[in-house]
C-alpha cells in the first residue's frame, strides 16, 4: 500500500506515543518523509533514531500554542520544500461528570483536542493552497458520534473536530486538497492515562484492557486514506474493536 505514500512529506502531531507513534512506524516503512511533533522530545528523538529518520525529523511541539505548530510545519517545508500531509493527532481524554466542575481538565481538553486541530490546519493550509495539493487528516473519535456520562466535554471536542473538518472539506475544494476524519474506538494507547478522576480512570482502563485493539489498526486506516488516487477523497472513517458496543 505504498502507492500514494512513498516520498510524501508528512507532519504528525502527538507522534511520540500511541496512535501517532503507530502511524510514524507504518508510514516510515512505506517510505514517507516524516516530520514529528510532540511535547516529549526525548521520546521523539529515540523514535527518529530507531527508524533512521534523522535528527532534523523532530520538533518539540505543544499543540496548544499556534506558534509551535507553525514552527513544526515551517520546519517540514524548509527541510523538504513542501508539506503533503498533516495528521492532527494529538489528543487527551480526561473524563469526569460535569458536576465535578473540572475546569482545568475542560480547558486542557479544548486546547489540545480542538484548538490543536485548528492550529494544525492553519499552519499547513497556506502551503497546500499555494501548491493546490495536500491532505489534512484530523483525528476524532467514536465519541465524536456518541456521548456517554462523564465524556461530555471530550465528546464535544471530538464532534467539533468533525464539524471543523466538514467545513474545511468544502472550503478547500478549489485547491484540490483532500480531507479525512478518522474516528477510532477503543485502541490501546496512553489516552486513558489522561483521566484525572480515579473512579473514571479505573473503569475506562478496565474497558480498554478488555477490548482495545492495537494502535497499528489506526496506522492501517491512515495508510488506506493516504494511498488512494488523487481524485479519491476519503472523508471519514469510523472504526471500532469488533466487540465494542459503544
Catalytic residues, which ones? 154
DSSP string, 144-193: GT---TT-HHHHHHHHHHHHHHHHHHHHTGGGTEEEEEEEE-SBSSSGGG
Phi, psi for residue 242 in degrees, rounded to 5: -55, -30
Phi, psi for residue 69 in degrees, rounded to 5: -65, -40
DSSP string, 24-77: HHHHHHTT-EEEEEES-HHHHHHHHHHTT--GGGEEE--TT-HHHHHHHHHHHH
Amino acid at each position: 500500500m505504498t502507492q500514494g505514500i512513498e516520498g510524501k512529506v508528512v507532519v504528525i502531531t502527538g507522534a511520540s506515543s500511541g496512535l501517532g507513534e503507530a502511524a510514524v512506524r507504518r508510514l516510515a516503512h512505506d517510505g514517507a518523509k516524516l516530520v514529528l511533533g510532540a511535547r516529549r522530545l526525548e521520546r521523539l528523538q529515540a523514535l527518529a533514531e530507531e527508524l533512521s529518520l534523522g535528527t532534523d525529523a523532530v520538533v518539540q511541539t505543544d499543540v496548544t500554542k499556534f506558534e509551535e505548530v507553525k514552527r513544526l510545519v515551517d520546519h517540514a517545508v524548509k527541510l523538504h520544500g513542501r508539506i503533503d500531509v498533516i495528521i492532527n493527532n494529538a489528543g487527551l481524554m480526561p473524563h469526569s461528570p460535569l458536576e465535578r466542575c473540572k475546569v482545568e481538565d475542560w480547558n486542557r481538553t479544548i486546547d489540545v483536542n480542538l484548538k490543536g486541530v485548528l492550529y494544525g490546519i492553519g499552519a499547513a493550509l497556506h502551503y497546500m493552497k499555494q501548491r493546490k495539493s495536500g491532505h489534512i487528516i484530523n483525528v476524532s473519535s467514536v465519541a465524536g458520534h456518541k456521548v456517554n456520562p462523564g465524556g461530555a466535554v471530550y465528546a464535544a471536542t471530538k464532534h467539533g473536530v468533525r464539524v471543523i473538518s466538514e467545513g474545511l472539506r468544502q472550503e478547500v475544494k478549489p485547491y484540490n486538497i483532500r480531507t479525512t476524519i478518522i474516528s477510532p474506538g477503543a485502541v490501546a494507547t496512553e489516552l486513558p492515562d489522561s483521566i484525572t478522576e480515579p473512579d473514571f480512570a479505573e473503569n475506562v482502563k478496565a474497558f480498554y484492557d478488555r477490548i482495545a485493539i492495537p494502535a497499528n489498526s489506526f496506522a492501517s486506516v491512515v495508510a488506506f486514506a493516504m494511498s488512494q488516487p488523487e481524485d479519491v477523497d476519503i472523508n471519514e472513517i469510523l472504526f471500532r474493536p469488533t466487540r465494542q458496543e459503544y
